[in-house]
Amino acid sequence: MDEIDPATGKVIASVRTGQGPGSVAFGEGSIWVGNVDDGTVTRIDPATRRTVTIPGIPDGVGSIAFGDGALWVAGNTDVVKIDPATNAIVKTISRAAEFGISDLAVDDQTGAVWLTFPDYHTNKFGNPFFVSRLDAASGTFVKAYHGGCCFSGILAAGGGSVWFGDDAGNLVRFNASTGAQERSQTYSEKQFAGMTVSGGTLWLASVSGDPLAQKAGGELIPISVATNRRGPSVPVGGAPAGIAVLGANVYVSESGGGVVPYVSGIVGASIPTGGPAAGIVAGEGYLWVSINQP
């Protein structure tokens, strides 16, 4: 895990986590890292860089998200809730999805927990996705949407809304509490690789061009939460993986290595990292990037 000082644009520390660090989150003053290969979560104290490993997550670790005072961890089909006060699993929702949870998000306004996973029953080239929300009364996930396309589905949540995006350029907005679909839009020849909500803007990272032709050219796309209007695209390199917002600035991690800063309306030189960058999050004034070491 690399810690980056945005003021200098340099890696100032590397913190060892579990095996295969991927999804990252910030909450309760800590950095949280989901370790795919050993099925653990690493909690990092940003002030001391000391770590605590949380084992015993039976269904593996994929996407993680912090919200409603807890860390939520998506495995293959299960979702677990970790209490930051004890670093212990306090809830397990078995069979939250049918197979292969792609992403998980928690809305900061309502505390609503959402997930998405592919529908492999269609037997088509490029599967549609299910998007589900956690029902507080039953404690189970209820499907709110079936659609989208292809091989990757991602979520973002904030301000009472949830967005689903896929690698065919489909973007769907939902009411976080009710699950009602509020808007659907398709951006042709976009492959959405990451997105986050901050300061009234939905930031989308995409790879431009025809997915089958594998054309290079990563973009950062701002969309107004209030009006759903798209702003001008910003070129950010060829392989975006994740997005973090720190103040008025946006940072995009690159799966090929490095972090691209978009500061004061200008794209800066890529910040070198210790390997291919995966998840990225802002916490306590610094950027934290999970690194896939060879």
pLDDT digits (tens, 9 = 90+) for 196-254: 999 999 999 987 554 444 445 689 999 999 999 999 999 987 789 999 999 999 999 99
CA distance 291 to 279: 8
Q: Per mean pLDDT, which range of 90-104, 120-134, 164-178, 266-280 is the poorest?
A: 120-134
Instruction: Tell whether the torsion through CA atoms of 223, 225, 229 and 232 is positive or negative.
Output: negative
**Contact (Cβ atoms closer than 8 angstroms) between residue 1 and residue 289:** yes
What pLDDT digit, counting tens, does each position of 161-178 carry? 999 999 888 999 999 999
What's the confidence (pLDDT) of residue 53? 96
- The bridge status of strand 21-27 relative to strand 10-14 is unpaired
Residue type, position 92, single letter: T
What's the confidence (pLDDT) of residue 255? 87
Which CATH number is 2-291 given? 2.130.10.10
CA distance 262 to 270: 10
What's the confidence (pLDDT) of residue 24? 98
Per-residue pLDDT band for 149 (boundaries 50, 70, 90) equals confident
CA distance 245 to 260: 12
What's the confidence (pLDDT) of residue 277? 93
Q: What is the mean pLDDT of residues 97-116?
A: 96
What's the confidence (pLDDT) of residue 127? 83
Residue 124: helix, strand or coil by DSSP? Answer: coil
Whole-structure pTM over 0.85, yes or no? yes
Domain coordinates in residue numbering, the chain? 2-291
Cα 239 to Cα 38, 61, 257, distances in angstroms = 26, 23, 9
Residue among 49, 11, 55 nearest 34 (CA): 55
Residues linked to residue 7 through DSSP beta bridges, in sequence order: none
CA distance 238 to 215: 9
CA distance 99 to 92: 16
Using alpha carbons only, what angle is made at residue 64 by residues 60 and 70, rounded to the nearest 5 degrees? 110
Q: What's 54-97 look like in SS3? A: ECCCCCCCCCEEEECCEEEEECCCCEEEEECCCCEEEEEECCCC
Cα 252 to Cα 46, 49, 289, distances in angstroms = 20, 23, 10
DSSP state of 274: S
